[in-house]
Amino acid sequence: MNLLRLFLAVTAALVLAAPGADAADPFHGKDLAQRWCAACHVVAPGQTSASADVPPFMTIARSPNFSAAGIAYFLLDPHPKMPTLPLSRIDADDLAAYMQTLKE
């Protein structure tokens, strides 16, 4: 019986640690984009104001080199023109997942 419990515990741990167990949430990403990014970027269709010097999220998402993983990594260490954002790894993944939805 103890062996069965150990097997079930190990199996549960492996399932929870598997890729995709913590899938990114594009809905949370959109909320973050509207809160943190919309002052400079057009982050959603219908947004009427943003800085002319920065690309809209849709343009970034549709670029040939777009990668959600690459964008998430970039957001954790942004270039000098971007403000330092208080983003966790989960937040960066969620923002990238939202941008991915704009690709279509």
| Torsion sign across C-alpha atoms 59, 97, 44, 102 | positive
User: Which has the higher per-residue pLDDT, 90 or 16?
Assistant: 90
Q: Does a structural domain hold residue 94? A: yes
Residue 86 CA to residue 78 CA, distance in Å, equals 11
The Cα–Cα gap between 82 and 79 comes to: 6
In a domain, 19, yes or no: no
Q: Does residue 51 surpass a pLDDT of 50? A: yes
Residue 5 domain-assigned?
no
The winner for highest mean pLDDT among 4-8, 12-16, 68-72, 80-84 is 68-72
Q: pLDDT band at residue 104, thresholds of 50, 70 and 90?
A: confident
When divided into structural domains, the chain yields a total of 1
Provide the residue range defining the domain that includes 73. 24-101
Q: Is 63 domain-assigned?
A: yes
How many angstroms separate the CA atoms of 92 and 89, rounded? 5
- Residue 70: CATH number of its domain: 1.10.760.10
